[in-house]
């Protein structure tokens, strides 16, 4: 469990913790199965460019990820209102 008073002193610390939470959540979705699907032609990605480990999330998984990202931003903005929060990971292409 994260103890914010010990680990999160500024927006950069928050971003590190939030990304760890986000990437852990996404990893669990991938490993659990049923939350991803094969790349389809109309997805708009070139299979040769994205590589073999490219993951397409189901609509439900994408909604869950988007909800988590939204919540993390809300928490970060509440605690660090004067700093801009940036959450980016290679595990998810942000809309």
Residue 87's nearest CA partner among 13, 9, 14, 15 is 15
Residue 4 lies in a domain: no
Residue 16 lies in a domain: yes
Q: Beta partners for 89?
A: 92
For position 16, what pLDDT does the model report?
Answer: 92
Residue 44 lies in a domain: yes
For position 63, what pLDDT does the model report?
Answer: 95
Q: Read off the pLDDT band of 2 (50, 70, 90).
A: low
Q: Tokens 């209102």 map to which residue?
A: 81
Task: Work out how many domains the chain is built from and give that number.
Answer: 1
Q: Provide the domain limits for residue 62.
A: 9-79
**Long-range CB contact pairs, 62-71, < 8 A, 24+:** 64/29, 65/22, 65/25, 65/26, 65/29, 65/92, 66/95, 68/21, 68/22, 68/25, 69/22, 69/94
- The tokens describing 50, both together, are 């994205």
Residue 95 lies in a domain: no
Q: Read off the pLDDT band of 5 (50, 70, 90).
A: low
Residue 13 lies in a domain: yes
Q: Beta partners for 36?
A: 57
Q: What is the pLDDT of residues 18-53, one digit of tens each?
A: 999 999 999 999 999 899 988 777 877 777 777 767
Mean pLDDT of the chain, nearest integer: 86
């Amino acid at each position: 469990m994260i103890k914010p008073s010990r680990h999160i002193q500024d927006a950069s610390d928050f971003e590190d913790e939030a990304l760890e939470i986000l990437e852990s959540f996404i990893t669990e979705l991938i490993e659990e199965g049923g939350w991803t699907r094969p790349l389809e032609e109309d997805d708009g990605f070139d299979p040769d460019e994205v590589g073999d480990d490219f993951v397409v999330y189901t609509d439900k998984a994408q909604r869950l990820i988007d909800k988590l990202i939204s919540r993390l931003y809300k928490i970060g903005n509440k605690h660090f209102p004067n700093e801009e929060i940036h959450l980016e990971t290679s595990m998810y292409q942000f809309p």
